[in-house]
Amino acid sequence: MKNSICTCLLIALFFSCEEPVETPNFVETDFSFNGFEWDPFPYKFSDSIRTKVLEERGVEMAATEFSYINDLENTLTFWDRRISSATTPLSPSKIDSFHLEYEATPAIPYILERSGDYRITIVNEEHHMPQTRIFTTQLLEEMYKQGYRHLGLETFLPTEKAAETIAQDKYPKINQGIYLKEPQFGQMLRKACQLGYKIFGYESQGHDSGKEREINQANNIKDYMESNPDGKVLIHCGYAHGAEGNYGGSWEKTMAGRLTEFTGIDPLTVNQTRYMSRSIPDNDDAYYQIMNVPEPSVFINSEGKVFGKYRHESYFDVTVVHPKTRDITKRPAWLIYGDRKVVELDMESFQKEQPILMLAYVQTEEVGTAVPYDVQEVYGNKVQLILEPGPYEFILLNQLGKAWKASYNVH
């Protein structure tokens, strides 16, 4: 009953944050993306992703490309094409045992209660799930108060100048990192810059094996820390790179394990890639199927042990359980946090041009170069954007390259 009430409150919050439906005054304009030469169209139409991207780069990259245009339904559906069969549910005895032993507590305050005691905190992400970037974004402000001053990102090489440019401009650009063009990744960097974090890259390329990559990543972080000894370090990495202990296989240890080996520092490690919604409930992790939480949470037993499974002898200190996202055809409630609200716009006059991309740029940032605050592919007579208060420049782009622009202020 308690979770049902919380779910209703989330739904009520989502729709209470809406602004009235409006029709911005769009006018034709010249527009082009100023991104990587090898990626001239960083935000692709779904038809192109379903055909060209899927054929040339596979199902995982197709799912990731859908995430860049905030298409959650196709992101999860394409990602789950890798699954050969539904998850086997837990037995009734295991369900009873879990609920008797573990109790949920909100993840963000729990992590912040612990992170102050560490020199390094490592939080991972799923590259196709913006939800995991929002979670790290929500940690930034309080961790800064705890003395964290450096944000390390897998999306940059340590030799690139992108991080320095972001620090100067105070906003991210689409030609500065592989995953950076995803709007929630961009917002994570905006927030970090506003707070005063120094951003650095630690990625490694050109290696002969996964083991070499993990070793090189850890060495890059170690070298950075030696050159920047003041302040604590927050690392935002992908998937298993944040696991501690014996990972097994050809890697032996991950980046996090090597970092401890090279520096002698024990990091706080946070996993948020296991317990979150898939395209259908039957594909969810077996334990996640019996977990119902209204906000990111951790499950803890009476001895203070955090519940979480990983592979072989590797582990994370904290495993986050995200709220379920059941209606993946709509914009999810986890996009709403802080001052963000739903902005619904009338698109009836552009129905003949559809499908059409809607890109919402922060007005003080360079249109076509900056990472948009939000992106949507428009079908139908309305579109919903998730924006915080302030001035924006909207761009509409059709498949023929024709564009329109409009200024808009969110109150």
- Concatenate the DSSP letters of all residues of 243-263 into one string: -BS--BTTTBS-HHHHHHHHH
How much of the chain, in percent, has pLDDT values that exceed 70? 95
Q: Which domains does the chain have, with CATH numbers?
A: 15-59+335-410 (no CATH), 95-321 (3.40.50.11550)
Read off the pTM: 0.93
**Residue 201: which H helix or E strand, with range?**
strand 198-201
pLDDT tens-digit profile of 186-198?
999 999 999 999 9
Q: What is the pLDDT of residue 85?
A: 84
Find the range with the poorest average confidence among 3-7, 242-246, 310-314: 3-7
Q: What is the mean pLDDT of the chain?
A: 93
Q: What is the pLDDT of residue 266?
A: 98
Q: Centre a 10 Å sphere on the Cβ of residue 84 and count the other Cβ atoms it contains.
A: 5
Residue 161 has pLDDT above 50, yes or no: yes
CA 232 vs. chain centroid, Å, equals: 22
Using an 8 Å Cβ cutoff, are 174 and 180 in contact? Answer: yes
CA-based radius of gyration for the chain: 21
Residue 116 has pLDDT above 80, yes or no: yes
pLDDT tens-digit profile of 283-296?
999 999 999 999 99
pLDDT classification of 11: cutoffs 50, 70, 90: very low
Rounded average pLDDT over 40-50: 97
pLDDT classification of 4: cutoffs 50, 70, 90: very low
* Residue 39 CA neighbour count, 13 Å, CB half: 16
Q: What is the pLDDT of residue 32?
A: 97
Pairwise CA distance, residues 148 & 223, whole Å: 17
